[in-house]
Amino acid sequence: MKKLIAGVLAVAALSSATGCAYSGVATSGDKAVILRNDGFLFGLLRKAVVCKIADAGLQNCGDNNNP
C-alpha cells in the first residue's frame, strides 16, 4: 500500500513538472509576439513565436520572424 501511494504521488509530482505555460504576449503594429516557457527543466526550452493579428485571430505564426 505504501508503494502504491508513493507511486501516485510521484506521478502527480512529475505530471505537474511537464507541460508549458505562456508567459507573455506583446504587440507591435499588426503582429504579436507570444513567449512560451516549457515546464521541462525549469523553463530551459523557451520559445518565441511571431503571429499576424487578424479579425479571425492569430494567423501565419512562425518561429524566426521579426515583428
- Domain ranges in the chain are 19-67
- Written as tens digits, the pLDDT of the chain (67 aa) is 878 788 777 776 666 555 556 678 888 888 888 887 776 666 677 788 888 888 888 888 877 655 5
Pair 51, 66: CB distance under 8 Å: no
Cα separation, 4 vs 7, in Å, equals 5
63: helix, coil or strand? coil
At residue 1, the 3 state secondary structure works out as coil
How many residues does this entry show for the chain?
Answer: 67
pLDDT computed for residue 43 by the predictor: 62
Positive or negative, the CA dihedral 63, 36, 46, 8 is negative
